[in-house]
Amino acid sequence: MPFSITPALIDEHGLTPEEYQKILSLLGREPSLEELGVFSVMWSEHCSYKNSRLELRKFPTTGEKVLVKAGEENAGVIDVGDGWAVCFKIESHNHPSAIEPFQGAATGVGGIIRDIFTMGARPAFLLDSLRFGTVEGDSLQAKTNRRLLAGVTSGISHYGNCIGVPTIGGEIYFDPSYNGNPLVNVFCLGTLRHEQIARGAAKGVGNPVFYVGAETGRDGLAGAAFASRELTEESKADRPAVQVGDPFREKLLLEACLELLASGCVAGIQDMGAAGLTCSTCETASRGGTGVEIDLELVPKRAADLTPYEILLSESQERMLVIVHEGQEAPVKKIFEKWELPYALIGRVTDDGMMRVRSGEKTVVEIPARALADDAPLYAREAASWKAPAPLDLTTVPVADIQSTLLLLLAHPTIASKQWVWRQYDYMVQTSTVVPPGSDAAVFYLREANKFLAATSDCNAIYCALDPKEGAKAAVAEAARNLTCSGAVPIGVTDNLNFGNPHKPESFYQLRAAVEGISEGCRAFDVPVTGGNVSLYNESQQASIDPTPTVAMVGLIEKREDITTQYFKEPGDVIFLLGHLGDEMGGSHYLLVSEAKKEGLPPRVDFDHEKKINAQLLSLIRMGLVRSAHDCSEGGLAVTLAESCFNKSEEAPLLGATISLGKRALRADIALFNETSARITFSTPAAKAEEVEKILNSSNLPFSRLGLVTKNPELVIELNEATYSWNTQTLHHSWATALPHIMKES
């Protein structure tokens, strides 16, 4: 019976009737089953960004330090001086982690590491930005979320620890909107010399095409298409869409690829990530303005009965496509054999612009490479008009007990210590982590380049749910503030845009507004977007996630002496607040904890003011006047002060602070727990306090001299003739034990 394409088969491949008509027009004939599969994955949202690419063009992507801009290659590259550069990117593995948390997270780490060393960079460190549903309580949902948290954490730690790349920071949020659809966003940064930048282009007609790495199996089949649809019980049953990783094989592949690139034998190199062999083949051909012809019978396989369709669409991990200069086959094979990696010469670069795939004598795919990689349909989806939430009427919000509220905020899983998670990560491997997880930003020493980098990831999705543009602006502002508090100047951003179904006008509006908010922020701070990831269809059968445009930002620290952490250092140091005391309660964690509400307008962001605050603090740091600095974010000033009392060393005694806010025309809960932006607390030696105050007075920036660091482990805050006090050991216990206690309930 002859094969035929049916409407049901087209729909099964995630293609619309209109897209199928475009395929017929491009080919001038009906596609084969293999070609239909190829179009399915390459024209999926995960690979083509067909619903988001028009919006992504709004990002600023150029700058004098940009060596490889967003969209040109697997990851962007930024100059850091003295002939050195850094390459970094963030990617998601959300849907696979919802199905199989350990392997979903582990292969997410493996994939982002490959994106970095494909560029010729040696991976230096990882960050992860994670979101889970409610984990407290005995409900089935809470138990499921705890299982997801445990599995994802184990997967990240397993892969990173085994391959020897430290996970040095990140963030974890918990919210009911992520029930059934966790977010696993993983960032990697690598370092390289300018001349080591590698390209993913198939250049040089006649050049041999090598496959190297793990044998191809059935794991990960149609993973790109799987990531481009909503999570349902039916899609969750699609277990083959979850890949299985082998970090030890990837370590061999990493070293082999870096040695290959140093040998001068490589004309182009591409990771087999989403869409596997299909994507790597057509993308390298498209970038090179050439064609590629391969024979699937030559591909190393785990099973002899794999079909051409399965080989093309498999997303088995730890595989690379390498285009070698003709005549250099022998030294390339020698390197592969040295590292004990399976490999095969599977094809050649051609001059006809075609992606041609044979299975022995039979041609199963013959498609113009550019049509696959660059000519996917682009959509400008309908965007709903935004309805601003009503301003918060605080007269309807009862004043919660101040004493107990601070303890509750510190115990909230989003604010509480994440040590239970990051203790599982070997964040000190390579011995270059200067500031480990736990402070505003992680700091890493690039020993070979003699550079200090700070890195952070940020996004308050509650803000984004209430006002997507303002929430995205707040994510950029907080990331920049975290870097400033560490002594760094921002140099670049990579983002992971996590949203729901773009066909729904409300979801598409959220995406558009968030892109515009990030773009505004990056232009204000003069930092380019070096690339990133769009993850749509983050909807379970319960609901869509809160819009989560995660921003990962990297900064450069001039000298070791400028490295600053959030922890108070010495009793007697003077504590300052740089910025307004604030009064914005919309979207605050205070409302979440005391009233279980997400209401009001989130804090407004004024980038000019943000930049002045950051510049002033950085100036004080470089003058040697700052001992600690901590930005005010979730939970407000009281949480910030409490966290500053917690020493990073478990052996060091906890400190305290005496704070006087004087008389304020504010309710105590508003003064202590509001989340107004552009606020930083910092401490300075008592002998330098007058000098600092003089500088701040001349700056015309708002500031307050709050009080003193104390040896006595007690946080005391005086406000409006009332005094509130907490033993810092009690505060620390609430903060430090919350997540371990929750996870013991599993």
Is the dihedral angle over the CA atoms 568, 574, 578, 579 positive or is it negative? positive
CA torsion, ordered 405, 406, 408, 414, to nearest 10 deg: 130
> Do 568 and 732 form a contact (C-beta atoms < 8 A)?
no
Nearest to 238 by CA among 253, 252, 227: 227
Q: Which residues of 350-376 are buried (b: 16+ CB within 10 A; e: fewer)?
A: beebbbbbbbeeeebbbbbbbbbbebb
**Helix or strand or coil: residue 566?**
coil
Q: Which residues contact residue 701 at a Cβ distance below 8 angstroms, ignoring those fewer than 6 apart?
A: 578, 579, 612, 613, 616
> Do 540 and 179 form a contact (C-beta atoms < 8 A)?
yes
Tokens 């799987």 identify what position?
226
Q: How many residues belong to the chain?
A: 746
199 is written with which tokens? 């390209």
- Other Cβ atoms less than 10 A from the Cβ of 728: the count is 23
Q: Which residues contact residue 191 at a Cβ distance below 8 angstroms, ignoring those fewer than 6 apart?
A: 84, 85, 86, 87, 121, 122, 124, 446, 448, 449
The DSSP annotation for 236-274 comes to HT-GGGS----HHHHHHHHHHHHHHHHHT-EEEEEE--T
**Catalytic residue positions, numbered:** 46, 93
Nearest to 210 by CA among 262, 274, 284, 273: 284
How many Å apart are CA 468 and CA 547, to the nearest integer?
Answer: 7
- Other Cβ atoms less than 10 A from the Cβ of 699: the count is 16
How many Å apart are CA 655 and CA 652, to the nearest integer?
Answer: 9
User: Maximum Cα–Cα distance for the chain, whole Å?
Assistant: 90
> Do 554 and 75 form a contact (C-beta atoms < 8 A)?
no
DSSP-derived pairing of the beta strands 714-719 and 656-660: parallel
> Do 312 and 359 form a contact (C-beta atoms < 8 A)?
no
Phi-psi sector, 113: left (phi>0), alpha (psi -120 to 50), beta: alpha
Nearest to 449 by CA among 77, 167, 83: 83
* DSSP 8-state code for residue 349: E
